[in-house]
C-alpha cells in the first residue's frame, strides 16, 4: 500500500538538516512498490528525487516533485565459490551496518569503507571510496527499476561505468532508474589496505602489529580516524566530504610542488595525480572559517557544516567562496561531491 503524502518537510531526511519541503513524498520498503508507483499516471511526468540516507544532498530550495525515500531492507548470501562470497543487500540498508555485517562474518573488502554515511543503494551511484578502496573493486551487480516502465533491470560492473565518485547513474541513467538492491563480491581471503591516510599510525596506536592484521581491526581503525576528524551529522549538520579530491596532470602537480613543497599527491596510474582537496582548502585559510550559521569544519576542511539554522543557500555560498579561493591560489577547480538541489 503506497502512502503518498503532500508538502512534507525533508529536514529529517538530509544530514545537512536543511528544512526544505517536498511537494509529494512516499516511502518505499519493497521492490514491488516501485513498480506500482510508476504505474500511477498522475506521477508519470512529475520530477522525482531519490533519497537514501540523505547524506549526499544539499537542498537550496523546495523540491516541486515526488521525493522517494528508499527503505528496502534485507541482506542475503546469494552464492559463494572458493575465493568469494556474493552478498546482496536491499537499497535501504544502512551502509555502515552492512559493512559491520560483512566484517562480523569474515567477508573482506569493505572494511576500509566503515562509517561512511548513507545507504547501500546510494553506494554504487557515487562509487563511494575511502582509504584506498572504492566500491567498484568489489561490485558484482545491482538491480534497478525503470521509472518509465516499472521493469527491473540488472546492471553489471561494465554497465555502471564507474569512475572517481562517478557512475552512469549520475549521467545518462540519472533519473531513469531507481536502485533496489546491490550485490557485492567479497573475499574469503582478505587483502589488507593500510597504506592510505593514517591507518598504519592508528593501528600502531591500537597496538596492532602486521601479523595481527584482520578486517576487524582495520574497520576499527578506520572508525577511529573518521570519528576523530568528521562531525556526527546528528550533532552538527554536514554531508561528509563536500568536494571531490581533484586529479591533475603530473606536469601540473610537479609545477605546484615546486611552489608548495608539502603538497601531497597520490599517483593514479594514468598520468594524473590525485590531490587532497582538504589540504588545498586549508592552505587557503578556510579550515574552521564560519560565515553566519554555515562554515568549514575545524578538524576537516573537506567538510562543510550547518551550525544550526543555515539555509542551503548559506552552505552553497560557503562552497562557492571555497572554490574561488582554491582556484585563485592553485589554479584548480574543486567539484562538489554532494548533489545540489
Q: Three-state SS for 247? A: strand
Among residues 165, 185, 224, 226, the one annotated as catalytic is 165
Residue matched to cell numbers 567562496: 321
241 is catalytic: yes
SS3 content of the chain, % helix, strand, coil (to 5): 30, 30, 40
When pLDDT is cut at 50, 70 and 90, the band that residue 176 belongs to is confident
Q: What is the CATH number of domain 237-340?
A: 3.90.78.10
Report the SS3 class of residue 171. coil
Write the CB contacts of 60 (distance below 8 Å, at least 6 apart in sequence): 20, 311, 312, 313, 315, 316, 340, 341
Q: Cell 599527491: give the residue.
A: 265
Measuring CA to CA, which residue among 128, 88, 99 is closest to residue 215? 99
CB atoms inside a 10 Å sphere around CB 40: 13
Q: How many residues does the chain have?
A: 341
Beta-bridge partner residues of 290: 295
Question: Percent of the chain scored above 90 by pLDDT?
Answer: 63
Cell numbers standing for residue 335:
567539484
Answer yes or no: is pLDDT of 35 > 90. Answer: no
Q: Are 138 and 99 in contact (CB under 8 A)?
A: no
Domain assignments of the chain as residue spans, ordered by start: 5-70, 75-187, 237-340
pLDDT at residue 1 greater than cutoff 80: no
CA 289 to chain centre: 24
Q: Which of 220, 226, 241, 247 is labelled catalytic?
A: 241
pLDDT digits (tens, 9 = 90+) for 93-130: 999 999 999 999 999 999 999 998 889 998 998 898 88
Is 337 an annotated catalytic residue? yes
Residue 70 in contact with residue 52, Cβ under 8 Å? yes
Mean pLDDT of the 66-90 span: 94
Residue with cell 562470497: 85
Assigned CATH for 75-187: 3.30.465.10
Task: Identify the active-site residue in 27, 134, 143, 337.
Answer: 337
Residue 279: pLDDT band with limits 50, 70, 90: very high
CA-nearest of 27, 68, 17 to 47 is 68
In the block, cell 575545524 appears at 298
Residue 11 has pLDDT above 90, yes or no: yes
Which of the residue ranges 192-196, 259-263, 291-295 would you say has the lowest mean pLDDT?
Answer: 192-196
Contacts of 222 (CB under 8 A, 6+ apart): 111, 112, 113, 114, 115, 130, 131, 199
Do residues 154 and 233 make contact, with C-beta atoms less than 8 angstroms apart? no
User: In CATH terms, is domain 5-70 a member of 3.30.43.10?
Assistant: yes
Cα–Cα distance, 66 to 63 (Å, whole number): 8
Residue 196 has pLDDT above 80, yes or no: no
Amino acid at each position: 500500500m503506497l502512502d503518498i503524502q503532500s508538502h512534507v518537510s525533508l529536514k529529517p531526511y538530509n544530514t545537512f538538516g536543511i528544512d526544505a519541503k517536498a511537494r509529494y513524498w512516499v516511502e518505499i520498503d519493497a521492490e514491488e512498490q516501485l513498480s506500482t508507483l510508476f504505474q500511477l499516471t498522475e506521477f508519470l511526468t512529475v520530477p522525482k528525487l531519490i533519497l537514501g540516507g540523505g547524506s549526499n544532498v544539499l537542498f537550496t530550495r523546495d523540491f516541486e516533485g515526488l521525493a522517494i525515500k528508499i527503505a528496502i531492507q534485507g541482506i542475503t548470501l546469494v552464492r559463494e565459490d572458493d575465493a568469494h562470497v556474493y552478498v546482496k543487500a536491499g537499497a535501504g540498508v544502512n551502509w555502515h551496518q552492512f559493512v559491520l555485517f560483512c566484517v562480523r562474518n569474515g567477508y573482506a573488502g569493505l572494511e576500509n569503507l566503515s562509517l561512511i554515511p548513507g545507504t547501500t543503494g546510494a553506494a554504487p551511484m557515487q562509487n563511494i571510496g575511502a582509504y584506498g578502496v572504492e566500491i567498484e573493486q568489489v561490485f558484482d551487480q545491482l538491480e534497478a527499476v525503470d521509472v518509465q516502465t516499472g521493469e527491473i533491470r540488472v546492471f553489471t560492473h561494465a554497465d555502471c561505468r564507474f569512475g572517481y565518485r562517478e557512475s552512469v547513474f549520475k549521467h545518462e541513467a540519472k533519473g531513469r532508474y531507481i536502485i533496489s538492491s546491490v550485490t557485492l563480491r567479497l573475499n574469503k581471503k582478505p587483502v589488507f589496505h593500510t597504506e592510505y591516510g593514517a591507518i598504519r599510525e592508528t593501528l600502531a596506536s591500537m597496538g596492532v602489529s602486521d601479523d595481527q592484521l584482520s578486517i576487524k581491526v582495520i574497520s576499527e581503525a578506520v572508525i577511529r580516524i573518521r570519528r576523530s576528524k568528521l562531525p556526527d551529522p546528528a550533532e552538527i549538520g554536514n554531508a561528509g566530504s563536500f568536494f571531490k579530491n581533484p586529479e591533475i596532470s603530473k606536469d601540473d602537480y610537479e609545477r605546484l610542488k615546486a611552489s608548495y613543497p608539502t603538497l601531497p599527491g597520490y599517483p593514479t596510474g594514468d598520468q594524473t595525480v590525485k590531490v587532497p582537496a582538504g589540504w588545498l582548502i586549508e592552505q587557503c585559510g578556510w579550515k574552521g572559517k564560519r560565515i553566519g550559521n554555515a562554515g568549514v569544519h575545524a578538524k576537516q576542511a573537506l567538510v562543510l557544516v550547518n551550525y544550526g539554522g543555515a539555509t542551503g543557500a548559506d552552505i552553497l555560498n560557503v562552497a562557492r567562496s571555497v572554490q574561488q579561493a582554491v582556484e585563485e591560489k592553485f589554479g584548480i577547480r574543486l567539484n562538489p561531491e554532494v548533489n545540489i538541489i
